[in-house]
Structure 1
Amino acid sequence: MTATAAPILISPETLVGYMADPDLRILDASVELPTPRFDQDYRVASGRDGWLQAHIPGALHADLLEELAQPQASFSFALPCADHFASALARLGVGANSHIVIYDRTDGFWAARLWWMLRSVGIAAQVLDGGFNAWRAAGLPQRQGNESPVPMAELRLQQSPGFWIDRQGVQAVLAGERPGVLVCALSSALFSGTAPSRYARRGHIPGSLNLPARNLLDPQGKYLPSTQLKDQLGDELLKTPAPLVLYCGGGISAAAVALAMTLVGRDNVLLYDGSLQEWAADSNLPMTTGATPA
């Protein structure tokens, strides 16, 4: 299955029409990550309990915190190696011919994260626009408790280049040794350092532009129409030939910006997996505060 086989976004009403498809795999990618109350207030938990309380019928919980992450990494949600990723997906019944729809129960950033992970290994997936909130708003059925196990699939994956960048790559961009435009997807308050950060230091990587991911969604949590998306993204980011290097706190909000960029046809986008959880933890790496909007 190619990464361009289906439209990126799917509505609840369209998803209902696929519910009888035996190849459909609906994944709830929710993670619990509360807003920090004070600096370094990092509280994270699996979204499994919320999934047990209510989910789309047939949906399985995709655990981005542990099962779908690299356990040896120094930061949360680290991209797993291809073999680890393939095994975790296979246990969810995801195979080469699966029709994958991803959602989460909050702002859609977790769904975007899993979508970008899948895209980077050549697997097409769709994101439920507006997530579980849109499903409930449409008055569609919900289910509680566990789902029946699905047969384990066979899946082999290979990571494609051009989707991710590591700390050394970001350092090279910052030093002018590698082309790239740094873009922080956090809120303006977190970017400027005026709000508590759950990470080791406040602020952003020097030279970054600020493009809050939530600015790309409407009040219902759905992605803005293409024209409005382009207005929010701006000509500078859409037309620059340099790669866009997206980051946030943990590579989650940045994935929503990557999805939005893809919706409007902007490629050459890289996501910094470690983001500020890795960067801010190293006191030798520079950070700054103050506003520098995109």
Structure 2
Amino acid sequence: MAAPELPDLLVTTEWLADHLDDDGLVVLDATVLGVESPAGFRWLSGLDEHLIEGHLPGAVFADLLDEFSDPDGGFSFTRPDAERLERAARDVGIDDGVAVVVYDSSIGQWAARLWWLLASAGVDRVAVLDGGLARWRAEGREIVTGYRPPRAAGTLTLAPREGFWADRHEVHTIATGEADAALVCALPPGEFRGETGRRPRRGHIPRSVNVPVSTVIDRESRTHLRGDELHARLSAATADSPDRVVVYCGAGIAAAGTGFALRRAGHPDVAIYDGSLEEWAADPAAPLVVQA
């Protein structure tokens, strides 16, 4: 079994359609849904949507809520430890002999989060489907329903890579000016300014700039921006040519989308603050900036 050679961090729908029958390819649906209920907002697994509304042929559902997160962590979508991540990856068919393509039914932030988890753990052959499920549907390509059992995985060798993650201490050093790095908030402008948001304490971390994940995606086609247009959208994060960029949001998901865009644009040192504002804002002493 030979895994197909991934052309880039992104693959097109055309490329994936041409390789769906390759034995060495694993396609994963990483969708998570945000729903409002009488009890308030909550995250919901995309499994039912995957099974009932449909998914790409051969795709397996990857559960970011539980299996690819630590349910005992202190905040939503806490990054799992190496043992849990290896088990979750093998359970969806990932081993050393495959290439992985990830997609979601939103604008790609969930796929980017799973890409970030796998790439940071040392999975070399992993890419995001440009445009995700929405573009696949818009092009009239085949959609299937029901359950698809994952392939039986063999040996998976993980070797965690440095620099993909930032903790609260590092963010504090950037926010206070002790560290020379850029701090980027991937939330919508209203949340960045503190006008909206579900957290009791609103606003952004000091010294942050705002690059919402929605601005690095073409909202009509759901495809990722490229070239000069992408660089222009990322200019706030890269204007001072920082060696390191740390991206955060509410729970490390939108941050993965903006962080992924920065890596595609060629920035060599980008990290996600995993706890993001769920962790930062929970500390009454941690400063937040609200713009009038």
For the criterion TM > 0.5, the same-fold answer is yes
1:259 aligned partner, one-letter code: F
Deviation, 1:147, is 0.8
Distance 2:28 2:237 in 1: 35
Does residue 1:44 correspond to 2:43, yes or no?
yes
Distance 2:167 2:249 in 1: 13
Look up the match of 1:146: 147
Moved over 2 A (4+): 175-179
Look up the match of 1:207: 207
Going from structure 1 to structure 2, the CA distance change for 1:95 and 1:72 (only over 3 Å counts) comes to same
Q: Does structure 1 retain, via aligned residues, the 8 Å contact 2:176–2:206?
A: no
Distance 1:6 1:223 in 2: 15
Measured against aligned partners, the alpha-carbon deviations of 1:235-275 in whole angstroms (never above 9, x if no partner) come to 76165133111001111111111111111211211110011
Deviation, 1:41, is 4.5
Distance 2:238 2:150 in 1: 44
Identity %: 39
Distance 2:288 2:34 in 1: 23
Look up the match of 1:178: 179
Q: Does structure 2 retain, via aligned residues, the 8 Å contact 1:83–1:157?
A: no
Distance 1:122 1:9 in 2: 17
Measured against aligned partners, the alpha-carbon deviations of 1:54-87 in whole angstroms (never above 9, x if no partner) come to 1001111111110011222111111111121011
Task: For residue 105 of structure 1, give the secondary structure of its aligned residue in structure 2.
Answer: coil
Superposition pairs of residues 1-294 of structure 1, within 5 angstroms: 6-34=7-35, 41-53=40-52, 54-123=54-123, 124-195=125-196, 197-218=197-218, 219-234=220-235, 237=238, 240-290=241-291
The structure whose RCO (Cα within 8 Å, separation 6+) is larger is 1
Going from structure 1 to structure 2, the CA distance change for 1:144 and 1:128 (only over 3 Å counts) comes to same
Q: Does structure 2 retain, via aligned residues, the 8 Å contact 1:200–1:277?
A: no
> How high is the TM-score relative to the length of structure 2?
0.92
Task: For residue 21 of structure 1, give the secondary structure of its aligned residue in structure 2.
Answer: coil
Q: Does structure 2 retain, via aligned residues, the 8 Å contact 1:166–1:274?
A: yes
Task: For residue 178 of structure 2, give the secondary structure of its aligned residue in structure 1.
Answer: coil
Distance 1:202 1:208 in 2: 14
Deviation, 1:175, is 2.5
Distance 2:47 2:158 in 1: 25
Distance 1:238 1:83 in 2: 38
Going from structure 1 to structure 2, the CA distance change for 1:177 and 1:239 (only over 3 Å counts) comes to closer
Measured against aligned partners, the alpha-carbon deviations of 1:85-108 in whole angstroms (never above 9, x if no partner) come to 011100111011211000000111
Distance 1:151 1:20 in 2: 16
Distance 2:86 2:183 in 1: 30
Task: For residue 42 of structure 2, give the secondary structure of its aligned residue in structure 1.
Answer: coil
Distance 1:201 1:66 in 2: 26
Report how many residues are paired: 285
Gaps of 5+ in 1: none
> How high is the TM-score relative to the length of structure 1?
0.91
Q: Which moved more, 1:154-163 or 1:54-63?
A: 154-163
Task: For residue 133 of structure 1, give the secondary structure of its aligned residue in structure 2.
Answer: helix
Gaps of 5+ in 2: none
Going from structure 1 to structure 2, the CA distance change for 1:236 and 1:285 (only over 3 Å counts) comes to closer
Distance 2:200 2:268 in 1: 31
2:44 aligned partner, one-letter code: A
1:88 aligned partner, one-letter code: A
